[in-house]
Amino acid sequence: MIHNYQDLFEEVTSRPADGRAWAECVSAISHTLYKHTSCGICFHAVNDCENRVVSVAGYCEGVDIDCDSHKLKFPFSADEFWKAVDNADNDGIELWNDTHGCEHCYGGLEGEYGYTPIDPNCNHCHGEGVIL
């Protein structure tokens, strides 16, 4: 079980916490999750007496659309945490795929968010899309 930020630091970074301060733990967790997920998820932490909560959310460069936050209140299991991370990462990837098609993807058809979705079979961008 993950009972505090030091436990979470150790789970995410695979390094001993060694009495690190809250802010240092949160910074390292945030940096590690951003760098080691496909969409660069966002990590947020609340550490007051009433609410010891962490949340992760997907991120998509180039659009003003927020992904849903996946919140966990201490204590939680490592499996619960990594499932939330995977869900957040998938949210960001899905938003990317829905909004970053090139002008040739699906003939420039606008999707749900007013952007062109990525066509995985596009001969122009090869299913990679473009940064807007």
Q: Assign 132 a pLDDT band (cuts: 50, 70, 90).
A: low
Cβ within 8 Å of residue 86, ≥6 positions away: none
**pLDDT, tens digit (0-9, with 9 covering 90-100), for 16-74:** 999 899 999 999 999 999 999 999 999 999 877 767 899 999 999 888 899 999 999 99
pLDDT at residue 111, as a whole number: 82
Q: Assign 109 a pLDDT band (cuts: 50, 70, 90).
A: confident
Is 76 in contact with 7 (CB distance < 8 Å)? Answer: no
pLDDT at residue 6, as a whole number: 93
> What is the percentage of the chain residues whose pLDDT exceeds 70?
98
Q: Is the pLDDT of residue 131 over 80?
A: no
CA-angle at 45, arms to 8 and 63, nearest 5°: 115
> Alpha carbon of 95 to those of 56, 83, 105, 127: distances in Å?
15, 18, 15, 14
Q: Where are the chain's structural domains?
A: 5-93, 100-132
Is 65 in contact with 113 (CB distance < 8 Å)? Answer: yes
DSSP state of 78: H
**Cα(40)–Cα(88) distance, rounded to whole angstroms?**
10
**Cα(95)–Cα(61) distance, rounded to whole angstroms?**
10
